[in-house]
């Protein structure tokens, strides 16, 4: 499967957080799955870290990127189709980062690994 991690899932993966479901851990550890993260997640991390909302994470946004890269998570650059797709999404979720992640998943035909109640309200494939 081709799986797009939302930002929280990526953070929980790196910290081996208990918040990851048993199934999520299995998807993440299955070498048959291709794991992706959007550049939007690195951007979101950078902003939230600067605002002091990620105090429990000792690393900065470049470290976040490198840690993901080091465990073979493919980084998806934001392309115009990802950004413009946000315009067509219903206004269920107002978080701009999550909306960009949703649009990316739709355009790239990826399954989102998330437990975000607002993301899963969209007509997308998701796992948790």
Domains and CATH numbers, the chain: 2-127 (3.40.50.1010)
d(CA 38, CA 103): 10
117: pLDDT strictly greater than 90: yes
d(CA 112, CA 125): 6
The mean pLDDT value of the chain amounts to 96
At residue 58 the predicted structure's pLDDT band, cuts being 50, 70 and 90, is confident
Q: Would the CA dihedral through 93, 118, 53, 24 be positive or negative?
A: negative
The number of residues making up the chain comes to 128
84: pLDDT strictly greater than 90: yes
pLDDT at 69: 95
């Amino acid at each position: 499967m081709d799986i797009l991690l939302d930002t929280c899932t990526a953070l929980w993966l790196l910290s081996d957080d208990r918040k990851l479901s048993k199934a999520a851990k299995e998807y993440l550890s299955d070498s048959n799955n291709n794991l992706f993260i959007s550049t939007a997640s690195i951007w979101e991390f950078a902003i939230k870290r600067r605002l002091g909302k990620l105090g429990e994470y000792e690393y900065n946004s470049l470290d976040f990127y490198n840690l993901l890269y080091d465990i073979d998570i493919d980084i998806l650059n934001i392309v115009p189709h990802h950004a413009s797709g946000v315009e067509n999404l219903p206004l269920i979720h107002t978080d701009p980062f999550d909306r960009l992640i949703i649009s990316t998943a739709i355009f790239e035909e990826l399954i989102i690994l998330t437990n975000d109640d607002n993301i899963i309200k969209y007509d997308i494939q998701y796992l948790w």
